[in-house]
C-alpha cells in the first residue's frame, strides 16, 4: 500500500537529470575531444528535452588514465576541457535556462599523480603518510589480504619507497584515500565547499560506498550469489562478497557530515552511485534522513532483459512508500552497454528503451537520461585498435569495454564527424548513429527525440507523477500498471513493455477520464484497455 503524498516537494523529487560525458558531447577547439564550452553551447538541447539538471562527468585536472576519474587536482579544470572561467560561464548559462548543475566528484580515490599521494608515498613519517591506505606485506611478501580490484587482479600495489602496499579499488594509478584519517575527511569537505561556493547545485558522488575500508583488513568471503553474477563473470571481482572493502558502517557518518555541509546552501543535492553489492541495504541506509537525497545503483543498468516484473520487483525491494529513500532510475550511462543493444533485438528500434524511460519517469524517484539515449543510440562497436578504455583493455576480448557507450554525440549527419568536431574524434562515430543525429530527429515530428520531449513536457505538468505516492496494481505480466497520487490528484498509468498488443481489464482504474497530450496510443472499451506495442494509457481516478 502507498501512503498519501503531500502537496510540497523538493526540486529533485521527480527530477529529470541529463548526464553529459564531456569528452563526447561537443568539441569547440578542434582537438577531437569535447569540452566545457561545447556543453554550454548545447544547453538549449538539454533544457529543451525537459531536464531539471545536468550531471557533468569529471572535468577537473587529471592524467586521464581513467578519463577524469583519476583526479590530480580537485580545484582546477583540466586544460583539455577548458578553464575555470569556462566552467563559470557554463554554470551561469545553465542557471539562466533553469538548469541546475551537478558536478561529478571522485572522492574515494585520487590519481597517483596527486600531490597528496606524491608526498604520502615518500616515507612513513611525512605529514600525509596516513592519507592513503598503506599496509605491510604478509610474511611471505604477498599482499595483506585477498581484496580484488574492480579493474582486475589484486587491489594492492607495492610501493618500494615505503616498503608497503597501497590499496587501489580500481586502476593501480588510482590509490584509495584513507577516510579513517579525519584530516582526509576535512580536506574532502573543503573541496566540496569550494565548488558549492562557486554555485554548483550539488554532486554526483562516484562510488560513494567505497570511501571506508575495514580497518582490520580482514579478507572478503566468497560470493554466495556467484552463479548469478554472469554479467561480470569475465572478472574474478564478482567471485567475492565485498563485505570488508566497501559499504562499511563508518561511511554513513561521513555522508552525514557531507550532507550537513551541503544543507548550509539552498536547494543542493547529493546523488550517490551505489555498488551492486548488497544494493537494497545500501540504498536503504544511504538515502535515510540526513544522508543522500538520491541514489542510483546498477539495478537496471546491468540488466540484459527488462519487463514489468523486473521494474516492480526492483521498486518494491528499494521501497516505494513516501517515508522510504528516493531512488534515481537509470537505464543507460557511461559505464554500461547502451540499452538499445543490451536489451536484445526488440530494443534496436529504440521503442522499448523509450517506453521504459517514460515508465521510469512516472515512478517514484528521479530519472537520469544519458546523452544519446534521447536519440535511441545503439552501443557502438569500437574496433580494438581504437579502444581507449583501460577496463576494456584489461579484459579484451572477453569484454569489449565501455568505449561503445562513450562515442561522440551525433549532432548533424550532414556535417563532418556529425558536427561533433572539425577533427577526427577521440572515439569513432559509428555509421548507425548518423541517421539518428539530433538535426534529423528534430526535423521529424514522430522521432524518438521529439516524442520524448513531448512526453516529458506533459509529465512535468502532472504533480503526482513527480512527487506523489505510488501503488502498483495487478496486471498481465507484460503490462506495468500503477497509481500515483498527490493531494487530490490520482493518476493511473499502464505501460505495455512488449512488442505485441496487450489487453487487460482494470475495473477500478479506468473509470475516470483519460489524459491526453502524452503522445502514447491506447484504446479503452469500458473497463478494458488495449495497448499497442510499447503503448501506454494515463487516466485520472475519482
- Residues belonging to the active site: 206, 273
Task: Indicate left, alpha or beta for 468 from its phi (over 0: left) and psi (-120 to 50: alpha).
Answer: beta
Sheet holding 479-486, edge to edge: 469-472, 479-486, 489-496, 536-540
| 3-state SS, residue 67 | coil
Alpha-carbon distance of 340 to 352, in angstroms, equals 8
Closest CA to 370 of 73, 88, 77, 49: 49
- What lies within 8 Å, CB to CB, of 367 at 6+ separation is 15, 16, 17, 328, 329, 330, 357, 360, 361
CA dist list (Å): 296 to 206, 230, 267, 458:
11, 21, 19, 25
Alpha-carbon distance of 183 to 86, in angstroms, equals 31
Alpha-carbon distance of 143 to 157, in angstroms, equals 8
Alpha-carbon distance of 153 to 19, in angstroms, equals 30
Alpha-carbon distance of 310 to 316, in angstroms, equals 10
Alpha-carbon distance of 419 to 27, in angstroms, equals 9
Q: If you ran DSSP here, which 8-state letter would residue 272 be given?
A: E
**8 A C-beta contact, residue 56 and residue 86:** no
Within 348-488, strands assigned E span 366-370, 469-472, 479-486
Alpha-carbon distance of 251 to 350, in angstroms, equals 39
250-262 and 182-198 are packed helices; what angle lies between their axes, rounded to 10 degrees?
Answer: 30
Q: How many CB atoms lie within 10 A of CB 443?
A: 10
Distance of CA 366 to the CA centre of its chain: 11
Looking at the DSSP bridge assignments, the partners of residue 329 are 367
Alpha-carbon distance of 532 to 516, in angstroms, equals 16
Alpha-carbon distance of 140 to 260, in angstroms, equals 45
At CA 504, angle to CA 499 and CA 507, rounded to 5? 155
Alpha-carbon distance of 399 to 48, in angstroms, equals 36
Amino acid at each position: 500500500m502507498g501512503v498519501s503524498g503531500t502537496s510540497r516537494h523538493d526540486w529533485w523529487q521527480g527530477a529529470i537529470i541529463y548526464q553529459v560525458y564531456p569528452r563526447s558531447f561537443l568539441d569547440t577547439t578542434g582537438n577531437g575531444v569535447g569540452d566545457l564550452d561545447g556543453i554550454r553551447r548545447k544547453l538549449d538541447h538539454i533544457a529543451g528535452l525537459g531536464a531539471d539538471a545536468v550531471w557533468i562527468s569529471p572535468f577537473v585536472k587529471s592524467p586521464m588514465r581513467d578519463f577524469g576519474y583519476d583526479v590530480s587536482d580537485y580545484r582546477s579544470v583540466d586544460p583539455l576541457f577548458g578553464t575555470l572561467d569556462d566552467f563559470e560561464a557554463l554554470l551561469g548559462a545553465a542557471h539562466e535556462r533553469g538548469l541546475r548543475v551537478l558536478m561529478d566528484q571522485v572522492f574515494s580515490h585520487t590519481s597517483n599523480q596527486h600531490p597528496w599521494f606524491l608526498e604520502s608515498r615518500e616515507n612513513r613519517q611525512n605529514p600525509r603518510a596516513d592519507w592513503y591506505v598503506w599496509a605491510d606485506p604478509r610474511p611471505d611478501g604477498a599482499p595483506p589480504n585477498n581484496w580484488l580490484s574492480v579493474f582486475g587482479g589484486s587491489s594492492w600495489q607495492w610501493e618500494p619507497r615505503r616498503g608497503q602496499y597501497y590499496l587501489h579499488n580500481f586502476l593501480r594509478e588510482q590509490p584509495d584515500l584513507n577516510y579513517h584519517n579525519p584530516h582526509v575527511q576535512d580536506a574532502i569537505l573543503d573541496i566540496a565547499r569550494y565548488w558549492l561556493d562557486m554555485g554548483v547545485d550539488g554532486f554526483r558522488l562516484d562510488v560513494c560506498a567505497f570511501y571506508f575500508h575495514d580497518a582490520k583488513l580482514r579478507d572478503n568471503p566468497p560470493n554466495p550469489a556467484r552463479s548469478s553474477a554472469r554479467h561480470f563473470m569475465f572478472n574474478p571481482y564478482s567471485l567475492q562478497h565485498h563485505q570488508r572493502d566497501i559499504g562499511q558502517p563508518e561511511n554513513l557518518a561521513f555522508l552525514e557530515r557531507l550532507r550537513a555541509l551541503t544543507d548550509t546552501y539552498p536547494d543542493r543535492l547529493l546523488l550517490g552511485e551505489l555498488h551492486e553489492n548488497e544494493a537494497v541495504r545500501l540504498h536503504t541506509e544511504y538515502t535515510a534522513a540526513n544522508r543522500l537525497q538520491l541514489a542510483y545503483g546498477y539495478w537496471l543498468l546491468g540488466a540484459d532483459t527488462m519487463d514489468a516484473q523486473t521494474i516492480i520487483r526492483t521498486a518494491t525491494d528499494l521501497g516505494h512508500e513516501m517515508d522510504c529513500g528516493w531512488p534515481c532510475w537509470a537505464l543507460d550511462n557511461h559505464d554500461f552497454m547502451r540499452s538499445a543493444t543490451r536489451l536484445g533485438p526488440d530494443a534496436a528500434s529504440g521503442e522499448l528503451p523509450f517506453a521504459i524511460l517514460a515508465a521510469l519517469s512516472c515512478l517514484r524517484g528521479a530519472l537520469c537520461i544519458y546523452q544519446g539515449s534521447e536519440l535511441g543510440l545503439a552501443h557502438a562497436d569500437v574496433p580494438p585498435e581504437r579502444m581507449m578504455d583501460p577496463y576494456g583493455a584489461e579484459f579484451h576480448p572477453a569484454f569489449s569495454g565501455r568505449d561503445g557507450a562513450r562515442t561522440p554525440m551525433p549532432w548533424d549527419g550532414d556535417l563532418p564527424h556529425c558536427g561533433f568536431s572539425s577533427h577526427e574524434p577521440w572515439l569513432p562515430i559509428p555509421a548507425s548513429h548518423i541517421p539518428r543525429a539530433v538535426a534529423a530527429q528534430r526535423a521529424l515530428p514522430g522521432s524518438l527525440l521529439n516524442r520524448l520531449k513531448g512526453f516529458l513536457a506533459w509529465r512535468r505538468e502532472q504533480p503526482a507523477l513527480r512527487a506523489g505516492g505510488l501503488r502498483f496494481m495487478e496486471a498481465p505480466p507484460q503490462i506495468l500498471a500503477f497509481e500515483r497520487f498527490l493531494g487530490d490528484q490520482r493518476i493511473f498509468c499502464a505501460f505495455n513493455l512488449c512488442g505485441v498488443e496487450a489487453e487487460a481489464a482494470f475495473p477500478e482504474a479506468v473509470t475516470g477520464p483519460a489524459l491526453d497530450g502524452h503522445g502514447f496510443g491506447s484504446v479503452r472499451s469500458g473497463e478494458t484497455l488495449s495497448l499497442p506495442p510499447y503503448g501506454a494509457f494515463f487516466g485520472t481516478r475519482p
